[in-house]
C-alpha cells in the first residue's frame, strides 16, 4: 500500500511539472498581416504582442491596451485591434506572462496589472504616432 502511494505521488508530481512547463510562453507569436509584432517590458519579463495603427493618423493617437482571457494570447485579439484601428485608435494586443510569445510563467494574473502598467509607459513614447 505504501508503494502505491509513493507511485501515485510520483506520477502526480511528474504531471504537475509537465503542466507547469507547458505553460511557458516560449513559442513566438506568428507574423500577422497588417500588425507589427512588438515586445514591451512587463515587470522583469518581456511581453510580446501586436500593434495595429490606424491608416490615417493625426499627431496624437489614442491607444487601447487589449489583454486576453485565460488560455488565450495576443493572436486572439488582432481582429479587435484592427477594428479599433479603423476607428482611429492604436490597438496593442498583448500576450501576458507565460502565454505564447511572452516570457515568464503564468501566475494566474497576480502580476498582470503591474505588467500592463509596465507595458503602457514605453508605449506612450515608443509607439506614438508620427506626423
pLDDT in tens, 56-75: 766 678 889 998 988 889 99
Instruction: Tell which CATH classification among 2.40.30.10, 3.40.50.1820, 1.20.1050.10, 1.10.1060.10 matches the domain 25-126.
Output: 3.40.50.1820
The percent of residues in the chain predicted with pLDDT above 90, rounded, is 32
d(CA 90, CA 105): 28
Per the CB < 8 A criterion, the answer to whether 129 and 92 are in contact is no
CA distances from 41 to 24, 44, 48, 76 (A): 17, 7, 9, 20
Q: What is the pTM of this model?
A: 0.71
What does the CA dihedral 115, 116, 121, 126 come to, rounded to 10 degrees? 100
pLDDT in tens, 3-59: 344 333 333 333 333 333 334 445 899 999 999 999 988 888 999 999 999 987 666
Amino acid at each position: 500500500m505504501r508503494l502505491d502511494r509513493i507511485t501515485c505521488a510520483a506520477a502526480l508530481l511528474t504531471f504537475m511539472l509537465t503542466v507547469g512547463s507547458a505553460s511557458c510562453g516560449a513559442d513566438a507569436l506568428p507574423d500577422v498581416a497588417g500588425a507589427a509584432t512588438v515586445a514591451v517590458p512587463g515587470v522583469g519579463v518581456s511581453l510580446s504582442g501586436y500593434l495595429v495603427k490606424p491608416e490615417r493618423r493625426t499627431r496624437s493617437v489614442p491607444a487601447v491596451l487589449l489583454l486576453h482571457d485565460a488560455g488565450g494570447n495576443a493572436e486572439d485579439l488582432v481582429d479587435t485591434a484592427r477594428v479599433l484601428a479603423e476607428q482611429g485608435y492604436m490597438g496593442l494586443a498583448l500576450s501576458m506572462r507565460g502565454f505564447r510569445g511572452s516570457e515568464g510563467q503564468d501566475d494566474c494574473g497576480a502580476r498582470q496589472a503591474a505588467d500592463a502598467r509596465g507595458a503602457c509607459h514605453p508605449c506612450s513614447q515608443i509607439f506614438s504616432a508620427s506626423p
